[in-house]
Structure 1
């Protein structure tokens, strides 16, 4: 059958229009998560329902139960915004007591106590570091049949400012100040009439500049100062007139009257080396080492004054600790067994000696 030319053109145009319409449709959207595409067809994958349930399987909804919970034994610490300051507040109290009732071997009832307050405020940010610590200590002993006696007495303050060139180096340019004195009068027992030391008699002030080595992440501080001023204060005039702790003593006449009162300050210029190191010797055993070495350039070059304290802390639990403390001091300006005549003449000039103390105690340590 013959088809006219017009009909051929119309049929071709119809097929072209039909192809254009079909190619522009997108009736089924494409889903990436749960569909599979095969050429131009889209087949949705459906999850088959569970037909066989094994024995012992429970398909019930989960239930929240508090039967297995326990109360919190430790109070959770509140969240604190990170700070460049390190703060430490410690109260340490140690007590010891001995009592006797009809004790055949004999003995006197006694009570001893030692209290310590310790504060630390350290600031560190990049190139700048500022360390401060303040310590108060006082101990006493009361024994049956005699008055109480002082066993420990100290006020100590230390401040160090450091600056380094970059954050990689552990060496700092530093300025350091130390101050030490005591609370109450000190006596050479059993003599309670003439105190041998009092508040600010002596009082020690160290002020100098140098360099410090402070490694990151360790409680280690080595300070070297080639020029440090040391001032020994004796503000009690009676002790100053005697020339205690190295100050210039008073000038007396033939009858023992004071012509020129004694000086209240003994100044020195020299070199200072201090070293602090706190580390864990074993589990729950902490060692704190603190030594100070000072040498005077002007009056006694080559002589070294030593103050070395070593402390072992044995941690029993969060609040109870046992401590062993030793302290060794040598200062050639502190003379022992000095004797003077009634008119002020020196019978025995005395001599410097090594001073040593040791303490052992068990007590309560509270951080707040």
Structure 2
């Protein structure tokens, strides 16, 4: 009865995101030819013309007097906010020829555009103009970086080991936004190594993450989207419980965590929240040795008394549960920003109420266009992941533990 009440609560909480307001302006679309549209509505115009970032109407046959408006788009220093300056012109004929005189009527009127819809209507200029617009609805960002830390000791009285470490990282995004449709795609890659004096080369970081989210909202007045999301998290190289480098405790796609679900997502400024009452979580262990050991919560293989494998272990496990994620980016001051990502997941059927936690907190300090300092932490708790450590050369397995990773780095970042 207790679990049933909690499930009902989650369902009610999820329904908030799905109860979007439908636009109040609903008009029946009538078939009308382009020629008839021009004759009745735009008889004095030839076509819509795009130059650089400005789309304006070009006159061909001008009445004795008419008024046109032009706009100029200007970038501001405050993040993604842009300013549009709208100017109004009075157009008149000169004598009997085709020369035109343009007079600026009022003082240019500027307003800030923050990507918030102001109306429910849209001019389909791209469909009516014989000159197709070059405007793209895709926005891409690419960022690659290298962090290097190095320390050398020679006859140092306080003691110490010489070491050098480095992390190669890359963040790539491809986002599509048109009208009420949003499709966001992101790829994150990180790999780090450390070499200390008289110690073998060791891995310090290893991340391969793919995120894809598709959303559609029924009203331009709402900040909620009907959304479908896919996330894949894994690694690229073997992991060890050092100093044991003979028995890997993880490999590429062993484990890998795949989340696929539907729900509702809230967008406002630099904050996003995703609620999914139906999310499939797949745990993959695509390595025979680790799968047969029953690692990461999977059913292991069956062995006889001599250690011979009788039945291979499972390489995947599927769960169905509730997923909640948030992403918040905050500019604390000039060139200093805070990023907070939190993911919570609980399975409906297996130990409901036991929550898997993935929390990342990152403070980025930008020195200039190429130099950046980063301070952050990453916390993970998953009841299916058992802790492993080396005791006197013997690898032992303990119960689940809170995993925590702290990072402080200064390095080069190149955006293109």
How far the C-alpha of 1:336 sits from its partner, in A, is 2.0
Task: Show the 5 A alignment for 1:26-41.
Answer: none
How far the C-alpha of 1:104 sits from its partner, in A, is 2.3
Verify the 8 A CA contact 2:241 2:389 in the aligned structure 1: no
Do structure 1's residue 357 and structure 2's residue 405 form an aligned pair? Answer: yes
CA distance in 1, matches of 2:157, 2:354: 52
1:315 to 366, 374, 386: 366
Match of 1:126 in 2: 179
How far the C-alpha of 1:107 sits from its partner, in A, is 1.8
Match of 1:236 in 2: 287
> 1:4-29 CA deviation, whole Å, 9 max, x = no partner?
xxxxxxxxxxxxxxxxxxxxxxxxxx
CA distance in 1, matches of 2:200, 2:389: 27
Match of 2:205 in 1: 152
Task: Show the 5 A alignment for 1:1-368.
Answer: 82-215=135-268, 218-337=269-388, 350-368=398-416
Normalised by the length of structure 2, the TM-score is 0.65
Match of 1:345 in 2: none
Normalised by the length of structure 1, the TM-score is 0.73
How large is the Cα RMSD of the aligned pairs?
1.7
- Unaligned ranges ≥5, structure 1: 1-79, 340-347
> 1:221-251 CA deviation, whole Å, 9 max, x = no partner?
1100001000000010110011100110011
CA distance in 1, matches of 2:244, 2:378: 24
Verify the 8 A CA contact 1:285 1:312 in the aligned structure 2: yes
Report the 3-state secondary structure (helix = DSSP H, G, I; strand = E; otherwise coil) of the residue aligned with 1:195: coil
Report the 3-state secondary structure (helix = DSSP H, G, I; strand = E; otherwise coil) of the residue aligned with 1:239: helix
Q: 1:108 to 1:350 in 2, by over 3 A?
A: closer
CA distance in 2, matches of 1:169, 1:162: 13
- Unaligned ranges ≥5, structure 2: 1-132, 391-395
How far the C-alpha of 1:255 sits from its partner, in A, is 1.6
> 1:87-146 CA deviation, whole Å, 9 max, x = no partner?
110012111100122322222211010111100111111110001110000011011111
Verify the 8 A CA contact 1:295 1:302 in the aligned structure 2: yes
How far the C-alpha of 1:82 sits from its partner, in A, is 4.7
Report the 3-state secondary structure (helix = DSSP H, G, I; strand = E; otherwise coil) of the residue aligned with 2:148: strand
CA distance in 2, matches of 1:168, 1:293: 28
Further displaced range: 280-289 or 323-332:
280-289
Verify the 8 A CA contact 2:362 2:375 in the aligned structure 1: yes
Report the 3-state secondary structure (helix = DSSP H, G, I; strand = E; otherwise coil) of the residue aligned with 2:166: strand
CA distance in 1, matches of 2:224, 2:156: 62
CA distance in 2, matches of 1:189, 1:143: 13
Q: 1:337 to 1:98 in 2, by over 3 A?
A: closer
Report the 3-state secondary structure (helix = DSSP H, G, I; strand = E; otherwise coil) of the residue aligned with 1:214: strand
CA distance in 1, matches of 2:382, 2:335: 35
Q: 1:101 to 1:93 in 2, by over 3 A?
A: same
Report the 3-state secondary structure (helix = DSSP H, G, I; strand = E; otherwise coil) of the residue aligned with 1:364: strand
> 1:49-96 CA deviation, whole Å, 9 max, x = no partner?
xxxxxxxxxxxxxxxxxxxxxxxxxxxxxxx96532221100121111
CA distance in 1, matches of 2:194, 2:283: 29
Verify the 8 A CA contact 1:338 1:351 in the aligned structure 2: no
Aligned length: 279
